[in-house]
Amino acid sequence: MQDWLHYAIPFVIIGFFIYRRTKRTIGFQKLSRGRLKFRLILFSVLGLFIFLLGFIHPIHFIGYIIGLAAGAGLGLTAIRHTRFEHRLDGWYYRTHLWVEITVLVLFLGRVVYRVAFISLATNATANPSSMNPADLTQFSKDPLTAGVFFIIVSYYVLFISYLLREEAHLDPAALAADDKTDGTVSQTNVDIAK
């Protein structure tokens, strides 16, 4: 029975994180300045740290640059299709469904890759120190892993920066006047993308 729990508990935890990430990725999300700033700082610091680790193997900068360019393209697409909506409790945003799905697939693909890597590493007779999933130098050893990581980093840094910049231009007072006229919640979509 313990053998069963040994595998079930990690899958339940991973399933919970996948559910939470799916809920946060698809559909309207609340525009929370504090949360966005925290995520921007987190992705920027992690991206810079992993980028600096690349000096160990400079050839891997090719994967980094491709990942940064692909993430920037994804971010620009997301910016072009972003819609804002005002509700009683504040502003909400969402981007194009396919952009949301692409980001989710990148995240889930990374989780599946890590789970497969860990399960294969426990069965392998290789050096256990080289199979440590918490070892951040793996990003400097595997350009594909780093490339996918930099797609996500550049997407989030670009998109979150855009959201923070546009959040300052959203005018809830104008929508409050609309709310007073009919007594309902304004579901106005504001398309700021150029």
Judge whether 172 and 89 are in contact, CB under 8 Å: no
Judge whether 114 and 133 are in contact, CB under 8 Å: yes
Tens digit of each residue's pLDDT (9 = 90 or more) over 42-87: 989 988 888 887 777 777 788 888 989 999 999 999 999 999 888 8
Edge-to-edge order in the sheet of strand 29-30? 29-30, 90-94, 83-87, 189-190
Using CA atoms, how far apart are residues 67 and 158, in angstroms rounded to an integer? 13
User: Would residue 78 count as lying in a domain?
Assistant: yes
User: Would residue 6 count as lying in a domain?
Assistant: no
Quote the tokens at residue 60.
Answer: 């891997």
Structural domain count, the chain: 1
Tens digit of each residue's pLDDT (9 = 90 or more) over 1-46: 456 666 677 677 777 777 777 777 777 888 888 899 999 999 899 8
Q: Which domain holds residue 58?
A: 33-82+97-173
Name the pairing type of β-strands 189-190 and 90-94.
unpaired
Judge whether 18 and 105 are in contact, CB under 8 Å: no
Tens digit of each residue's pLDDT (9 = 90 or more) over 103-157: 888 877 776 776 677 667 666 544 544 545 555 555 555 677 778 888 888 999 9
User: Would residue 24 count as lying in a domain?
Assistant: no
User: Would residue 77 count as lying in a domain?
Assistant: yes
